[in-house]
Amino acid sequence: MEHLNVEIKARCADHDTIRNVLESKKADFKGIDHQVDTYFKVSHGRLKLREGNIENHLIFYEREDKEGPKQSNVILFENNPGLSLKDILLKSLGALVIVDKRREIYFIGNVKFHIDTVGGLGAFMEIEAIDKDGTIGKEKLHEQCQQYMDLFGIQPADLISDSYRDLLGR
């Protein structure tokens, strides 16, 4: 399944405030997921296998590394845990880095929120405005990201342009 995201990632020392705002907006809480993302060595874009209790996907994406809301072109393949996909990818491509995180997942409409605690990095939050079928458009997705950044009080200095993969790989 291919779709368009506009997303931000920010350092977030106060997860309780984010949680309280989401609860006040009646966000749909999907649960807490322990996720292990294995990033593979690829010639372009990013390829990761996400293994979690809630989300299990092989994910390929291309995204600019810049501050603020940024576009991602994403292809998801739903993975069945326990299959040998990881072994095949490790043997053929090799691992680049492994990201181990605790993630709380919420939704308000087409916007997904993550409250993350990442091993070796600390506390973060993400906003992903998702257009699964091409009916929302890039401009509206940017507006949604900005609206929630303002609501949560995310400052430009809090924004992270790199992925967890890149931050751990330094």
Q: Which two tokens stand for residue 86?
A: 């990881």
- Number of domains present in the structure of the chain: 1
Confidence band for 83, pLDDT divided at 50, 70 and 90: low
CB 38 within 8 A of CB 98: yes
DSSP 84: T
CB 114 within 8 A of CB 103: yes
**Rounded percentage of the chain residues whose pLDDT exceeds 90:** 81
> pLDDT tens for residues 16-72?
999 999 999 999 999 999 999 999 999 999 999 999 999 999 999 998 877 788 898
How many angstroms separate the most distant Cα atoms in the chain?
47
Q: What angle do CA 127, 129, 131 make, to 5 degrees?
A: 155
- Give mean pLDDT, residues 2-6: 90
Residue 91 sits in a domain of what CATH number? 2.40.320.10
Residue 139 is part of which domain span?
2-168
- pTM for this entry: 0.90
